[in-house]
Amino acid sequence: MEKKQIRRVLIASLVGSSIEWFDYFLYGTVAALVFNQLFFVNEDPTVGLLLSYASFALAFFIRPFGGVIFSHIGDRIGRKKTLVLTLSLMGAATFAMGILPTYQAIGIWAPILLITLRLIQGLGIGGEWGGALLLAFEYAPEEKRGLFGAIPQMGVTIGMLLGTIALSIISLLPEGSFITWGWRVPFLMSALLVIFGLWIRKGIDETPAFKQVKESGEVPKLPIVETLKNYWREVLIAIGAKVVETAPFYIFSTFVVSYATGNLGYSRTATLNAVMIATVITTILIPIMGRLSDQFGRRKMYMIGAIGMALFAFPYFWMLQQQNVVLLVVATVIGLGIIWAPITAVLGTMFSEIFDAKIRYTGISLGYQIGAALAGGTAPLVATALLATFNNSYVPVAIYIIFTAIISLAAIWAVKTRKHKQMDVSLNS
């Protein structure tokens, strides 16, 4: 394949993934700042804030359904068409949020419509990840699958950065202007990103692996049925492997903001800057770790990250306890920026290599999205509950991080080298 076409494929995979996560994280940030005042209006501000966070968490639990729906289309009709559909759906929902009337204008319909749009976002992101990953992975030369599979993983952190930068700029507005109309601007501007993403994706062809499946006549009528019947072990492995990738991520990037500011006295600016610096570093490291997995093996890189996560759990909280901004930054950079990078870099490629091409979209989406719902959406909630139960002691939260690493190491231990009809793959060895 021409270098120009490969470059377009990788850009299409990364741009779409980044836009999806930009939209997704944008909602989470604005939910805490604005939605409790404009949509989830309540006499008790705390109740309004809890309702805003609940609407954020809701999308985690709808994501597996999006994964099932769009992976069915992806395994039946093709990766490219599905990706155009998921990006359009996500983009339309985000733009609609930007023009949605508030509670003061239409009453109870405001939160109902907002939650509906949030559910649509969840469906879109549930189908997007698997397609973006397979677009890169199934075009990759055999010796560069780790590198190619790591590219769409950068979309998570790039999306976070784009959302943070956009809101930082808009936050410079006077408080009244920000609440009245300013917060809407990033939602509306995302439409331009979506148009660019759709244009990039329009110029690429269907993946070689899907073409082979179609030509062989092996396209399954019900991919979900075949996956659960013949590949349930692989799905469980993928769910387990996702745990240490997603739970610590939300502790290091989301829970830490409330913990460091509310319990330890750090300023919100210092905490958010620490997360942003770590996010930039991990974005740079992800493709490097993916390339290293082509040399040393997927499983080896993943296990290094998972063991590192377990070993760093207690030192991470000890560094935060020192109430020193430099140590806050260092702790966040080590955890989110360095240790997390090899885990997330190889995850998608590793999942892709244990499923046959005919049900690959369904298999990886099920494992990834169920794992995200069980461990990701609940992580800040679990960590907060542990703090409250054990008198603000960080020890149970550190043990929780270690527990996630043990679950994922057990899952990855079960990964065996498999041979596919479409490709011979060696995970590790």
**Cα 246 from Cα 379, distance rounded (Å):** 8
First to last CA, the chain: 28
pLDDT of residue 32 exceeding 70, the answer is: no
pLDDT above 50 for 257? yes
State how far the Cα of 125 lies from the Cα of 21, in Å rounded to an integer. Answer: 8
In this predicted model, what pLDDT tens digit does every residue of 407-416 receive, in sequence order? 999 998 876 5
**Alpha-carbon gap, residue 290 to 211, rounded angstroms:** 26
pLDDT at position 53: 66
- The pLDDT confidence band at residue 244, using thresholds 50, 70 and 90, is very high
Task: Give the model confidence (pLDDT) of 117-157 as tens digits.
Answer: 988 988 988 888 888 999 999 999 889 999 999 999 999 89
Assess whether pLDDT exceeds 80 at residue 180.
yes
Task: Say how many C-beta atoms besides its own lie within 10 A of residue 170's C-beta.
Answer: 18
DSSP 161-227: HHHHHHHHHHTTS-HHHIIIIITHHHHHHHHHHHHHHHHHHHT-PPPHHHHHHHHHT---S-HHHHH
Q: Of the candidates 343, 13, 336, which has an alpha carbon nearest to the alpha carbon of residue 152?
A: 13
Considering the domain delimited by 1-210, tell me its CATH architecture: Up-down Bundle (1.20)
For the chain, give the number of residues: 429
Q: For the chain, give every domain's residue range.
A: 1-210, 220-429
Angstrom distance (rounded) from CA 49 to CA 225: 40
The domain 220-429: what is its CATH number? Answer: 1.20.1250.20
| Predicted confidence (pLDDT) per residue in 72-100, tens digit | 999 999 888 898 899 899 889 989 999 99
Q: What are the pLDDT digits (tens) for 265-289? A: 988 788 888 999 999 999 999 999 9
Q: How confident is the model at residue 165 (pLDDT cuts 50, 70, 90)?
A: confident
Contact 120, 97 (CB under 8 A): no
Q: What is the mean pLDDT of the chain?
A: 87
Nearest to 38 by CA among 138, 205, 246, 178: 178
pLDDT at 425 over 50: no
Neighbouring residues of 193: CB distance < 8 A, sequence distance ≥ 6: 15, 19, 22, 91
If one compares 57 and 153, the residue with the highest pLDDT of the two is 153
Q: Which residues of 193-217 are buried (b: 16+ CB within 10 A; e: fewer)?
A: bbeebbebbeebeebebbebbeeee
Question: According to the model, what pLDDT value does residue 427 have?
Answer: 38
Q: Are 299 and 409 in contact (CB under 8 A)?
A: no
pLDDT given at position 42: 67
- Coil, strand, or helix at residue 424? strand
Helix (H, G, I), strand (E, B) or coil at 102: coil
When mean pLDDT is compared across 40-49, 309-318, 376-385, the lowest value belongs to: 40-49
Does the pLDDT of residue 320 top 90, yes or no?
Answer: yes
Higher per-residue pLDDT: 53 or 327:
327
Q: Is the pTM of this model over 0.75?
A: yes
Q: Over pLDDT 70: what percentage of the chain? A: 93
pLDDT the model gives residue 98? 93
